[in-house]
Structure 1
Amino acid sequence: MKNLYEKRIDQTKQILAPLGEIHTRPQFGGYGVLADNVMFGLFLQDELYLRATAQIEEVFHHHQMTRLRYIRRGLPLTLSYFQLTDAGWQDPTLFLQLATLALNGARQERAEKQNRERLKGLPNIGGYLESLLLDAGISNQEQLKAQGAKACYLKLDTDDIPLSIKVLYALEGAITGYHEAALPAEKRDELRSWYETRHPTATTKYRR
């Protein structure tokens, strides 16, 4: 017998078929929902959250959808995803309308990023790290700098094996204009102390 998550995945694929082939992939401790390789939804603990741009947040609020918030290692984190309500699950037409807004918004953000300052233009930010940041909802230099290295690191560090401390150094260097190996010693010591309080049993087996 299928569990609730499996039933809801099947329901999602069936209702959202007009949007294209729907598939999932591991993301943020749950499963991202994608169409044409564009992520517009997120399953966490049997609940579906739809991605919102600033332009459609008001619509989601109107339908009493609540923003995804959770605590990650003692820090409150907020993502631009809103929980589909029971009314959405019970009304396929409404579900499709809301998901269409989410997908169109995600596609628009992807197109518009070419007109923004790309994260990849910063020191230490290669294609791999940029893709992680984009998936976490950090799409430009302004957002990276506003949130800071520690909060951004926590959004990325979602697997059982922690991200390397070098990623934390890279984020700080990207914000302050240093290559990660050239960060001032005082700042490196501060970041290492912060990192070790969150990964007290960390070994050398890190993701890059």
Structure 2
Amino acid sequence: MTISSSYLSHLKDLFAPFGEITIRKMFGGAGIYCDGNIFAITGEDGLWLKADDVSRAEFENAGCERFTYEFDNGKTGSMSYYSVPEEVFDDSDALEHWTQLALGAASRSIKKPKKSAKKR
């Protein structure tokens, strides 16, 4: 089953206050980007926000579940994305809080170019 375009439009509208939102379909789901940085993923069965060492505990303490997937060989893998608390869809303060956590994790994950050694 594929994700409906109306659901993706809804997510784009939901996150629009935070910046330029783009969505790229991938692997049966979609990546959600704000100003070019991926901060969320979605699939037919949920929405997950990016977390990192700074924000992971808050997601876990709220009972959010880590995104997992199954390989063809039956093994499972996971990514550092956590399910969204339900209040995000009904409470603008909750939306702001959890989205900012994900945007912070996204910005911290951007690899910065290494400074080159000075030429002599």
Cα distance, 1:26 vs structure 2: 1.5
Query: Higher helix fraction: Structure 1 or Structure 2?
Result: 1
1:29 aligned to 2:21? no
Could you say which structure has the larger radius of gyration?
Answer: 1
SS of match in other structure, 2:24: strand
Mapping of residues 70-89 of structure 1, within 5 Å: 70-73=69-72, 74-89=74-89
Which whole-Å deviations, capped at 9, do the CAs of 1:129-157 have from their partners, x for residues lacking one?
xxxxxxxxxxxxxxxxxxxxxxxxxxxxx
How many residue pairs end up in the alignment? Answer: 111
Query: Aligned partners of 2:85 and 2:107: how far apart in 1?
Result: 23
Does the aligned pair in 1 maintain the 2:66–2:81 contact within 8 Å? yes
Query: Aligned partners of 1:99 and 1:6: how far apart in 2?
Result: 21
1:95 aligned to 2:108? no
Does the aligned pair in 2 maintain the 1:67–1:79 contact within 8 Å? yes
Does the aligned pair in 2 maintain the 1:69–1:77 contact within 8 Å? yes
Mapping of residues 154-173 of structure 1, within 5 Å: none
Q: TM-score, normalised by structure 1?
A: 0.48
Mapping of residues 80-159 of structure 1, within 5 Å: 80-111=80-111, 113-114=112-113
What residue number does 1:53 align with?
Answer: 52
Q: Could you tell me which runs of 5 or more consecutive residues in structure 2 were left unpaired when the two chains were aligned.
A: 115-120
Does the aligned pair in 1 maintain the 2:20–2:35 contact within 8 Å? yes
Q: Could you tell me which runs of 5 or more consecutive residues in structure 1 were left unpaired when the two chains were aligned.
A: 116-208
Query: Aligned partners of 2:4 and 2:108: how far apart in 1?
Result: 29
1:10 aligned to 2:9? yes
SS of match in other structure, 1:59: helix
Letter of the 1:22 partner, please give it: I
Which whole-Å deviations, capped at 9, do the CAs of 1:98-126 have from their partners, x for residues lacking one?
11111121112104x546xxxxxxxxxxx
Query: Aligned partners of 1:61 and 1:33: how far apart in 2?
Result: 21
Query: Aligned partners of 1:84 and 1:6: how far apart in 2?
Result: 20
* Shift in alpha-carbon separation, 1:88–1:64, aligned structure 2, 3 A: farther
* Shift in alpha-carbon separation, 1:37–1:18, aligned structure 2, 3 A: same
* Shift in alpha-carbon separation, 1:5–1:54, aligned structure 2, 3 A: farther
Query: Higher strand fraction: Structure 1 or Structure 2?
Result: 2
Q: TM-score, normalised by structure 2?
A: 0.79
Letter of the 2:44 partner, please give it: Q
Query: Aligned partners of 2:92 and 2:11: how far apart in 1?
Result: 9
Letter of the 1:90 partner, please give it: D
Query: Aligned partners of 1:91 and 1:57: how far apart in 2?
Result: 21
